[in-house]
Amino acid sequence: MNHKILYINLSSGSCETRDMPEALIRGYIGGRGINSALLLENTGAGLDPLSPENPLIFGAGLLTGMPGPSSARLTVTGKSPESGLFGDANIGGDFGCALVSTGVRHLFITGKSKKPVYLLIRKNGGGAIAEIKDASRVWGMDSFDTQRAIEEQCGEGVQTACIGPAGENLVRFACIMHGRKNAAGRTGMGCLMGSKNLKAVVAVDSGKTHPRDAENFASLTREINRKLKAEFLTQDLARYGTGHLYNVINTNIEMGRAYNGLSTKMKEPGDLSPQTLETGYYSGRRGCRNCVVSCRHSYRIDKGKHAGLSGEGPEYGVMGHMGPVLGINSAEAVLMLNDRLNRLGIDASSAGNIIAWAIELYKEGIIGDAETGGVGLDWNAPETVAGLLEDIAFRRGFGDFLADGAKEASAKLGEASKSRLIWVKNLPQSDPVDLRFIKAFALGVSTSTRGADHLRSRCPWEAFEFDRNFLEGIYGGPVEPDPLKYGGKGRVVWWWECYLALFDALGLCKLLAFHTLPEPGVFGFRVFSDLIKTASGIDMTPEEVFEAGNAITDVERRFICREGVGRKDDYPPARYFEPLALQDGLDEESRKMKLDRALYDGMLDEYYACHSWDINTGRPKEIINSILWDENVNETGVILSEADIDS
């Protein structure tokens, strides 16, 4: 099994492959964990995110590429151009597996090319080499055309992660695309990639990566997959994709955000639902590599003004942010906007939030036609949104203003505008869910190391109100079962942070975590321990595995604290501490729902205590900020295959 990092400097054209110390693997496992440690170690406070010195780090999980349970994930990390703080994004599909097959698990890319280029990574003996190739023919193409053109040039058997026009034009919330819908979406990693004049990273797929103990690894995988297929929630996931959450959150519980969080209910429900997608638009489904759930749906619009449009998705995040958050209630409109986002390479969460913010400002008179260039903004206007997405990607007119992201745009408009933003730590909220309801969600989103984000600690069991004794057995301390109550929820968020960090570090899909019970269920720390040992030969106890998950959040917290983040930055937007502004059609409980600041502070205290962080500042304990590397360098050299590239 390879544990190697390929270092590439686009300014000098150099590359070298280094062995990864086992201590680094034991400390952070792989994927997101090792990426985060590398980012902290190799950057200093105050670094400009668009500086050539800001590293762009691709990191496959420890199990990525192996025939394990949904083991195909990869994390992209760097200082965020969007928030100015910690940045990373996770992506599935086939690219991560192909990268591992080249003989490395991590790419550490620095510098900036003088001209647009792409990297072609291929196997070379015990490691990998990178060819720096001219990208002038694909620069300007959308993400779909880019991948087709590169495959035509490089041949079948390559997998591509690329940016669209948004990344090229340094849209602060541009993402990295692979396939028709796989997106490393959050924190502007596509912008960071574009700042290096790097259009794509292409991996030549050399086949499967084999675990150290293949027989026992296969046995573990079969048992995990058997349990996965039996879970009722994964069956819903397979049938509808993540769109099934629209029914749960927006229809059943009515805690989805609508109209930029002014309400949780649409004035007109329309036809936006997973059932509508299934019966009217879905044309097939497939999975990422090694996945038995297969939640990725393809769709086609057969009639109407968008007839002939086809694609993959939409994920619940797209349904929510391109739907109720913008007041849009049409399934066909959301499918059209999903296609536009994926082609242009724009993060749906940030785009939906910042456009909804602009609509609210426009309707309140804080901005007007002078600022929007005559573009009238209103709810339920999908064609206007589609035009804005194009303008954002190509930095035209009002789109150029929005393309700078929430942090920069709100700074230009002043404090009155900031109070209408649904964000934390300069990052718009990732999930289209109202945080007044489930208290652990509110704390988890607000303490996330990359900003207002639900994928760091989302705790779906809160909705099930499990037995008190069951919860205490899982979390190691008392937890209030009622999701509307605050007791023990700091402990819940801390536990889920450790748990979910391990999915990112191992390269597993977190949808499995959200749709299964871990103890005694499909995944648990003993299962992780067994997978690590059979895959790599590294023997870690369940307790050591848990501590590695904890260390990942610690290292990321250290990074953002170095940039000035503290307790003051771990609160939800002020809007959530007040009742909903638009209350038509809401039941009595929803009308009164809001967060209690004193009780929230208690959750935050408990969360800090579980992490052993300072209660007053939220700063972590001292952790080792020095990673010792093997001096042995395996491979050096680079091929500049295009004569007209200046190195």
The 10s digit of each residue's pLDDT in 437-460 is 999 999 999 999 999 999 999 888
Cα 630 to chain centroid, rounded:
31
At residue 231 the predicted structure's pLDDT band, cuts being 50, 70 and 90, is: confident
Which are the contacts of 152, defined by CB distance < 8 A and separation ≥ 6? none
Cβ neighbour number for residue 571 with a 10 Å cutoff = 19
b (16+ CB within 10 A) / e for 259-291: bbbbbbbbeeebebbbebbbebbbeebebbbbb
d(CA 99, CA 7): 14
Domain with CATH 3.60.9.10 in the chain: 4-213+628-640
Burial of 602 (0-12, 13-18, 19+ CB in 10 A): middle
Q: Tokens standing for 243?
A: 């769109």
d(CA 382, CA 332): 10
Q: What is the mean pLDDT of residues 479-506?
A: 97
Q: What is the mean pLDDT of residues 398-427?
A: 96
CATH number for the domain whose boundaries are 246-420: 1.10.569.10
Domain with CATH 1.10.599.10 in the chain: 428-611
Burial of 468 (0-12, 13-18, 19+ CB in 10 A): middle
Contact 507, 97 (CB under 8 A): no
User: Among 153-157, 367-371, 514-518, whose mean pLDDT is lowest?
Assistant: 514-518
b (16+ CB within 10 A) / e for 3-40: bbbbbbbbeebbbbbbbbeeebbbbbbbbbbbbbbbbb
Contact 134, 200 (CB under 8 A): no
**Which CA distances in Å does 640 have to 5, 120, 199, 359, 623?**
20, 11, 16, 48, 40
User: Among 89-93, 237-241, 381-385, 543-547, whose mean pLDDT is lowest?
Assistant: 237-241
Report pLDDT for 464.
84
Domain with CATH 1.10.569.10 in the chain: 246-420
Report pLDDT for 208.
82
Ranked by mean pLDDT, which of 360-374, 464-478, 516-530 comes out on top? Answer: 360-374
Provide the angle, in degrees to the nearest 10, between the axes of the packed helices 439-447 and 597-611: 60
User: Among 153-162, 227-236, 323-332, 475-484, whose mean pLDDT is lowest?
Assistant: 227-236
pLDDT above 50: residue 646? no
At residue 207 the predicted structure's pLDDT band, cuts being 50, 70 and 90, is: confident
Report pLDDT for 644.
36
pLDDT above 90: residue 356? yes
Nearest to 452 by CA among 470, 466, 473, 434: 434
d(CA 64, CA 74): 8
Report pLDDT for 627.
44
b (16+ CB within 10 A) / e for 517-531: bbeeebbbbebbbbb
User: Among 116-130, 399-413, 484-498, 593-607, whose mean pLDDT is lowest?
Assistant: 116-130
d(CA 205, CA 149): 17
d(CA 592, CA 465): 21
pLDDT above 70: residue 302? yes
Whole-structure pTM value: 0.96
Provide the angle, in degrees to the nearest 10, between the axes of the packed helices 468-475 and 489-506: 50
Cα 480 to chain centroid, rounded:
29
What is the full DSSP assignment across 603-647?
HHHHHHHHHT--TTT-PPPP--------S-EEEE--EE--TT---
Q: What is the mean pLDDT of residues 350-364?
A: 98
pLDDT above 80: residue 2? no
Which are the contacts of 264, defined by CB distance < 8 A and separation ≥ 6? 254, 255, 256, 257, 258, 434, 580, 586, 590
pLDDT above 90: residue 626? no
- What is the length of the chain? 647
d(CA 48, CA 10): 17
d(CA 539, CA 128): 27
Nearest to 225 by CA among 611, 523, 639: 523
Residue 49, preceding peptide bond in cis (omega within 30° of 0): no
Query: Which CATH homologous superfamily contains domain 4-213+628-640?
Result: Aldehyde ferredoxin oxidoreductase, N-terminal domain (3.60.9.10)
The answer to whether domain 428-611 has CATH 2.40.70.10 is no
pLDDT above 80: residue 1? no
At residue 518 the predicted structure's pLDDT band, cuts being 50, 70 and 90, is: low
Which residues lie across from 108 on neighbouring strands?
7, 57
d(CA 606, CA 439): 13
What is the full DSSP assignment across 322-387?
TTGGGT---HHHHHHHHHHHHHHTB-HHHHHHHHHHHHHHHHHTSS-HHHHTT----SS-HHHHHH
Q: Is 548 left (phi over 0), alpha (psi -120 to 50) or beta?
A: alpha
Contact 317, 287 (CB under 8 A): no
Report pLDDT for 622.
66
The two most distant CA atoms of the chain are separated, in Å, by: 70
Q: What is the mean pLDDT of residues 351-364?
A: 98
Q: Tokens standing for 93?
A: 């599909």
* Residues of the chain above pLDDT 70, percent: 95
Contact 560, 40 (CB under 8 A): no
pLDDT tens for 51-62 read: 999 999 999 999
Contact 176, 183 (CB under 8 A): yes
For tokens 């205290």, name the residue: 605
pLDDT above 50: residue 633? no
pLDDT tens for 587-618 read: 999 999 999 999 999 999 999 999 999 999 99
Q: What is the mean pLDDT of residues 311-333?
A: 97
Report pLDDT for 3.
85
Report pLDDT for 463.
83
d(CA 45, CA 296): 39
pLDDT above 90: residue 232? no
Mean per-residue pLDDT over the chain, rounded: 93
Provide the angle, in degrees to the nearest 10, between the axes of the packed helices 348-364 and 331-344: 120
pLDDT above 50: residue 532? yes
d(CA 254, CA 274): 15
Residue 520, preceding peptide bond in cis (omega within 30° of 0): yes
